Structure formats: structure tokens, C-alpha cells
Amino acid sequence: MSFKDQLSELANRQKNALAMGGQEKLAKRTEQGYLDARSRVDFLLDQDSFREVGLLAKSNVKADRDCTPADGKVSGFGRIYGRDIGIVSNDLTVKGASSSETNAKKISYIKNTATRSGMPLVFLGESSGARIPDSMGAEAMSQAGTDPQQYCRRRETPWASAILGPCFGSSTWYSCISDFLVMRKGAVLAVSSARVTSLAISETVDSEELGGWRLHADKTGLIDAVADTDGEALALVRKFLSYLPAHSGEAPPVVPLKDWTAPDKEKLLELVPVERAKTYDVRKVIRAIADEDTYFPLKERFGKAAVTALGRIEGQSVGLLATNPMIKGGAMDPDACRKATGFLVMCDSFNIPVVLLTDTPGFLVGVEGEKKGAPAHIMNMMHALQLMSMPKISLILRKSYGQAFLNLGGGRNSDEMAVWTSADVSFMDPGIGASVVYGLNPNDNPEAHAEATEKLRTDTSAYDMAAVFGVQNVIDPRESRSYLCNALKTHKNRKTNGVGRHELANWPTYF
Amino acid sequence: MSEFTVEAELAGTVWKVEAKVGDALEEEDVIMIMESMKMEIPVLAPETGKLLTIQVAEGDTVREGQVLVTMTASS
């Protein structure tokens, strides 16, 4: 065959592979408002930066060679904000993007290359699970699981996933071991489909109930963010990765001075009520401290008594972990602790210093929490905080009582602690303490209870802490941002250029 | 339109009911305020919708997980 003919054949094969599952299926997706696997890649990456590998891969089953373009998984490398990444985008129009012998090799290739070369990895999930009938039978199963590191996470580079349709099997597994997981409304994340599940348990199962966004955003805490459209989800993946380094061996990128603005610090005096009984939304405080438009919440609808967010202070990425008095008074429950633990693991793995903002009446106590193993979740979080080697700066806004004081950086559990003038620190709320210590019931004996409360309220102030160097400084709330910025600079590890020990990098991806 | 319940996120006393049956609520609007752990803790609408029923009264003691109100989602 002449080169002319060879090149014509190559062009023809490429054209067929790029046609994906055919015009009809693609048109239907467009009608439904969903992007196809290739449009998603283009939308996510910097313009014209996609370099595909495996375009001409096909099913290893000979009879399927002509109907498996790219074998249902588009894979390659590209750039986000100028940085190289590896990507796998599932093409549902080709055999439901089901997992096969060939496309498993493609995923493995991208994953191994990204890990070895220090690139973030992005998975765009939408697949039906194992390819049937290819994977039926003992012989086929014996070919599965040949990579003993397939689902092993050491967090050498960041992984981000978007759930953009039905996700079962491997795209569910990869999503669940990612550092960031965004789900488009209407998508499903589950072990297997509603149809398979219904057949297996002889009970009708609804897809949304089985793995819809509400389940994962509110109840399981598996997902970090929710999006209305494919485009919105992909924009969140780009934004998430912008806070992180390309790999664990470097510090996160710093946004130059001209590209960030400081929020209005005067607001800080109005956002937090001085009265201890009043609640407020700590997310507004975070916004008044971090660079404008950099607040990036994670798992906002789950374990809401704690807020976990990425943000920047003077262009430097920080992890913000705060208690939110608006929810449960800021008393962390097991879900809030699980969320905090996972967040600390991510920050430690990717060299992101942490700022802890505290206003809490203590951990939430009660039968429901104990049933969920509250003490172990509190200790998981504490363990993570103590193993974490990145700078930890703690700021008490108002109340901080009991063990929660320690879990949020009190004592020597942070590198530096400052308190607002409104700080109030003790073992428990003085009003509850009066009942416990003196056996006084506020309804039976209000005057004696009030007197005992007042007695316990003395010696709990910011200045009592400062006097014994229990905190490094007492500050004007309006100085919070500049204080935190300077403290972060002081505690940066210059010897490693801001790279930590990563003792949490091998911790689980879900708690 | 799907109906859903809003439950007490922690044990406490109903201090003040702020919303009325029939109110159209935005996500995070205050439905009622509970007293617990010496704090006034708001119960917020988890999503935009209409308030259908209120199942507790001011002064009631409620358990964690107890249904406080029912709503219908607007979408």
C-alpha cells in the first residue's frame, strides 16, 4: 500500500473514531442538554490543548471492532490554566462506556503517566459498569484485577472527578477515591444501576433514591459540590485544581498581587454578634477574610456544623476549617468531624496550610451522635490534625469549649493561635457548668443559677488566655486577614519550600 | 412537586416559630428558632419551597430527628 493510501486509511480510521457512537445518539444527548465525551474534554481544557492517546483503541472482542470507537473512553493529556493534566472522559454512546480489557489499559496508562510525571488527573464519569457479556464467566473474571495498584491512592497528584451521568462500576470507584467530586443534577452515582439492583433484590428502586445528588450531597457526603449543568461542573473542576499544586512535591501556585483584592474588613465587626446566645453564618466571616471571590466550599450541604473550604489569602492557597454557629450552634457532630478529617487529609497531602476559625459550644452531645460513633470521629479528626505537617493557624472568634477547643487547634495543636477580643474559652458553657458543678436548676433557682454562671464566666476571657501565653496574641477582628497572612508566612517551612511530610496522604478517601 | 420534611438537627426546645403555613420560603430562610446548648439555633429551609404544615409549638421539647415541618419543593 502506498503512503497515500496508508494516510487515507489513517484519516478514515480517525474520522470513524471521532464519530463516537453515531449521529443519532449524539443528537439525543444534545437535545437533553448534555455535552458528549469529547465536547466535555474541550470545555474543560485550555483551548486546543488536548493531546489524545488511544484514539484508535477498540474492543478486544473482534466482533465488536467496528462499533467501539476509542473503546468508549476518551483519554489523553491537556492543560488547565496552563498546567498539564491527564484526563479520561467516558463516552456513554459507545457500549455505555462500559469497562473492557482495552479501555482498562487506557485508564491505567493515563493514571500511571500522570502519577509518574506529576500531573493532576481528571475523570469525567458516565458509564454503565463492567461490559457484559465480555466479563461473564470465570475465565473473564480471572483476567480482571491484574493491576494490584488499580484503586490504590497515595495522593502523589490531585485527582478530580465529575459525575455527569449514570455512574456505576469503575467510574464510581475512581470518583470515590478522588480528592474532589462534583455531581451534575440528574446524574447517578451508585454501585450498580437501578435496573440491576432491582433485579438483584427483587424490589423496585428509584435512580435518584439509589444515587442522586441529594443523597450524596446531604446524606453520604460523598460529593464535594453540585452543579446544574455539565459546563458548570467542569468549571468547578478547573477552579478546584487552581488551588492545588500539580503534584505533592511542590507548593500550590500563588496568584500574583495584581490578580487579587482584599474584602472590606470593617464588616467583621458586624458579622459576629457579641451576645453568646446569638448565631450567625461563619461563611460570611470567611468571605470577609479571604481574597475576594476565592471562597470555594467543599461538601457544603453535609456535616454543616463545620465549614470546609479552599480559598486564598494574598494569593496563597489556604484550607479554611471553621465551625458554623448557624448550624447546631457550631457544635460539630460525627458528620462534621468526618468532613473535617477528609479535608485535613487533602490539605496535608497537597501542601495547603490550614486556618481554623472557631466559635463552638463544644462537640454535639446526644444519643444520635453516640450511635454513629461520635468519640471515634472526634479522635480521627484530632489524629489527622496532629499528624498534619503543614502550618496550622487557629483563630478563636468567640466561644471555644472543651475537647473541641483542642480539635480546632487549641493548646499546641496549631502553630499559632490568636483570639478576637470577644473570645470566651472554658471547659463548657458557664450556664451549663453552673448546673453541673453546683447542681443548680435555672428554672427552680434562677438567681443562684445566674450568680453561679457569672462566677464561672470570670477567667474565661481573651486576656486570661494571653496572660498565660495560652494564645500568641489578642487581635482586633478587623486585623484577622493581615494577622493570618503574616502568621502563615512565619510558619512556612522554608527548609522544604513549603512541602510537608504527607503523613496523611495514604489515609482513606472517605471517613 | 415533591414533599419533604424538615427535622430537628439537635435536641432542644422550640423557642420561636417564625414562618407560617403557606409561606413561600427561600433556601436557608428561618422557619423557627430552637433553644439548645444555651444558644438560639435557627431551623432553616433546606431548599426553596412552600411551608405545608408545622408539627410543633413554641415551648415544645423536641428530639434530634423529630419532624418539625413539612414542605413542598418548588422545583
Q: What is the pLDDT of residues A268-285, one digit of tens each?
A: 999 999 988 899 999 999
At A426 the pLDDT is 87
Question: CA of A81: how far to CAs of A117, A236, A242, A244, in Å?
Answer: 18, 13, 7, 12
pLDDT at A50 over 90: yes
Contact assignment for B39 to A327 by CB distance below 8 Å? no
Q: What's the pLDDT band for A140 if we cut at 50, 70, 90?
A: confident
At B1 the pLDDT is 64
Nearest by CB to B11, from A361, A366, A431: name it. A366
Specify the DSSP class assigned to residue A36.
P
At A458 the pLDDT is 82
Q: What is the mean pLDDT of residues A403-424?
A: 96
At B2 the pLDDT is 85
How much of chain A exceeds pLDDT 90, in percent? 82
Contact assignment for B10 to A429 by CB distance below 8 Å? no
At A20 the pLDDT is 97
β A296-298/A306-313 pair status: antiparallel
Find out whether B54 and B68 touch, Cβ atoms under 8 Å.
yes
Q: Which residue has the cell 463516537?
A: A20
Report whether the peptide linkage leading into residue A133 is cis, meaning its omega lies within 30 degrees of zero: yes
Please give, rounded to a whole number of angstroms, the shortest distance from the CA of B21 to a CA of chain A.
23
**Which chain B residues touch A if contact means CB-CB below 8 Å?**
9-11, 36-42, 44, 46, 64-65
The DSSP bridge partners found for residue B61 are: B13
Question: Looking at chain A from residue 357 to 376, which residues have their Cβ under 8 Å from any Cβ of chain B?
Answer: 361-362, 364, 366-368
Q: Which residue has the cell 438560639?
A: B40
Q: With both helix axes pointing from N to C terminus, report the angle between A446-457 and A430-438 in degrees, rounded to the nearest 10.
A: 110
Q: What is the mean pLDDT of residues A323-332?
A: 95
Nearest by CB to B38, from A218, A326, A361: name it. A361
Specify the DSSP class assigned to residue A155.
-
Alpha-carbon gap, residue A389 to A349, rounded angstroms: 9
At A130 the pLDDT is 86
CB environment A122-133: b (16+ within 10 A), e (fewer): bbbbbbbbbbee
Q: What is the mean pLDDT of residues A198-216?
A: 87
DSSP string for A180-211 = EEEEETT-EE-SS-HHHHHHHHTS---HHHHH
Contact assignment for A326 to B44 by CB distance below 8 Å? yes
pLDDT at A311 over 80: yes
Q: What's the pLDDT band for A108 if we cut at 50, 70, 90?
A: very high
Please give, rounded to a whole number of angstroms, the shortest distance from the CA of A503 to a CA of chain B.
34
- Picking from A171, A177, A209, the residue whose alpha carbon sits closest to that of residue A191 is A171
Specify the DSSP class assigned to residue A216.
I
Find out whether A299 and A339 touch, Cβ atoms under 8 Å.
yes
How much of chain A exceeds pLDDT 70, in percent? 100
* CB contacts, 8 Å: B64 with chain A: 366-368
Express each pLDDT in B12-24 by its tens digit. Answer: 999 999 999 999 9
- Picking from A446, A453, A464, the residue whose alpha carbon sits closest to that of residue A431 is A453
Q: What is the mean pLDDT of residues A367-396?
A: 96
CB pairs under 8 A between A and B: 44
Express each pLDDT in A70-99 by its tens digit. Answer: 999 999 999 999 999 999 999 999 999 999
pLDDT at A339 over 90: yes
- ipTM of the complex, rounded to two decimals: 0.83
Among chain A residues, the shortest Cα distance to B29 is held by A326
Q: What's the pLDDT band for A427 if we cut at 50, 70, 90?
A: confident
Q: What is the mean pLDDT of residues A212-225?
A: 96
Q: What is the mean pLDDT of residues A97-105?
A: 93
Q: What is the mean pLDDT of residues A464-489?
A: 97
H or E stretch covering B44 = strand B39-44
At A133 the pLDDT is 82
* CB contacts, 8 Å: A327 with chain B: 9, 41
